[in-house]
Amino acid sequence: MSLTPAILFGSKNTSPAVTQTVGVSGTGKSFFLNRMLKATRVKDMGPLWRGVVFDIKHDGYADLVEGEKKFGVCTTYAQFVKSIKDNKITVIHPEIGESYDFLDEVIEHLFSLARRIEGFTATLVLEESNTYIGTHASAIPMQIKRLATQGRSLNLSLVLANQRSLSNKWTDTQSQRLILFRTAIPDHEMLKKKWGVCGVTLDKKLSEKKFSFAEFNLETLEVQFYEPIPGPNEGAFKGPTKSENVPVVGTDGQA
Ligand SMILES: Nc1ncnc2c1ncn2[C@@H]1O[C@H](COP(=O)(O)OP(=O)(O)O)[C@@H](O)[C@H]1O
Ligand SMILES: [Mg+2]
């Protein structure tokens, strides 16, 4: 099965609620998430699905909410509450000093909506999630833990974006898939150690085409490579196109 916006952002009661997006700076993570958010359709997600981007970098999503008659980027909790009522996509640019508390409030509000409104579902995209998530299970804010563990029963899901793969084992146990862009060398070793994926071979394949990426399904342990996401002027975009696979699971880097 190919990765589609509905698969990426949808939640299932039976699967972990978290997706991790990993890649060094400038490899296309935000572009990918932006285009996938834009490509979600009411037909697949339901009329009450909401995409919320919590973007501490203030970079790469504003176009989703800016323009005539659009709500614009939110910088306060009140704006977020108002925006999520009417808009499929909400983009938040928090100030760094306030981002912890703001994130807590956002997640709290998502739970409150999910409890009160029949059919409500949402995906929170958290940019630079290593800002909030440390190495140990105890170093994860309670609301993020709550979203990761209890979210799926309320159809809430979480997409994390990071320049390095999170070294937090607890987050891994809550993750359904990794979306891998070009990774840093320490991550090659991490991929090998944690999951038996040859990070060197994977990165070599990704280096052949700028902005290409791979999906590593942590439930099936399958790796699928994808072509770069087409730009906004390259026709209608419904979802990524698979590219030719190379074996990366269980190889020793000599492939
Ligand atoms: N598939 C793509 N096609 C064309 N340009 C892309 C693609 N992916 C990313 N870019 C461009 O490359 C730059 C870096 O991408 P970005 O998604 O911001 O990287 P990251 O979030 O991984 O740091 C941006 O200017 C973006 O528009
Ligand atoms: Mg980015």
Q: Can you give the pLDDT at residue 166? A: 80
3-class DSSP assignment, residue 176: strand
Tokens of 6: 């509905």
Ligand nearest to the CA of 34: 1
Q: What are residue 253's phi and psi, to 5 degrees?
A: 90, -5
Residue 253 domain-assigned? no
Instruction: State pLDDT tens for residues 28-46.
Output: 999 999 999 999 999 999 9
Domain count, the chain: 1
Residues 62-87 have a mean pLDDT of 97
Asked if residue 211 lies in contact with residue 223, where contact means CB atoms within 8 angstroms, the answer is no
Residue with the smallest CA separation from ligand 1 atom 14 is 26
Would you say residue 254 has pLDDT above 70?
no
CA 188 to chain centre: 20
Asked if residue 179 lies in contact with residue 21, where contact means CB atoms within 8 angstroms, the answer is yes
Spacing, Cα 24 to ligand 1 middle (Å):
11
Q: Is 211 in the pocket of ligand 1 (CB under 6 A)?
A: yes
Asked if residue 87 lies in contact with residue 45, where contact means CB atoms within 8 angstroms, the answer is no
Residue 139: other Cβ atoms inside 10 A: 11
Instruction: State pLDDT tens for residues 160-192.
Output: 999 998 878 889 999 999 999 999 999 999 999
Residue 176 domain-assigned? yes
Ligand nearest to the CA of 53: 2
CATH of the domain at 18: 3.40.50.300
Residue 249 domain-assigned? no
Tell me the CB-side half-sphere exposure of residue 26, using CA atoms within 13 A: 0
Q: Parallel, antiparallel, or unpaired: how do β-strands 222-226 and 213-217 relate?
A: antiparallel
Instruction: State pLDDT tens for residues 103-145.
Output: 999 999 999 999 999 999 999 999 999 889 888 888 899 999 9
Residue with the smallest CA separation from ligand 1 atom 13 is 26
Residue 254 domain-assigned? no
Contacts of 138 (CB under 8 A, 6+ apart): none
Please give the angle made by the CA atoms of 84, 150 and 18, to the nearest 5 degrees.
75
Instruction: Provide the domain limits for residue 186.
Output: 5-226
Tokens of 14: 């039976």
Residue 241 domain-assigned? no
Residue 244 domain-assigned? no
What is the best residue among 25, 31, 125 to mutate for testing ligand 1's pocket, by most ligand atoms within 8 Å of CB?
31
Spacing, Cα 235 to ligand 1 middle (Å):
17
Residue 229 DSSP one-character state: P
Burial grade of 5 (CB within 10 A; 0-12, 13-18, 19 or more)? buried
Ligand nearest to the CA of 128: 2
Would you say residue 228 has pLDDT above 60?
yes
Residue 245 domain-assigned? no
Q: Is 94 in the pocket of ligand 1 (CB under 6 A)?
A: no
Would you say residue 227 has pLDDT above 80?
yes
Q: Is 213 in the pocket of ligand 1 (CB under 6 A)?
A: no
- Give the chain's radius of gyration (CA, Å): 17
Residue 162 domain-assigned? yes
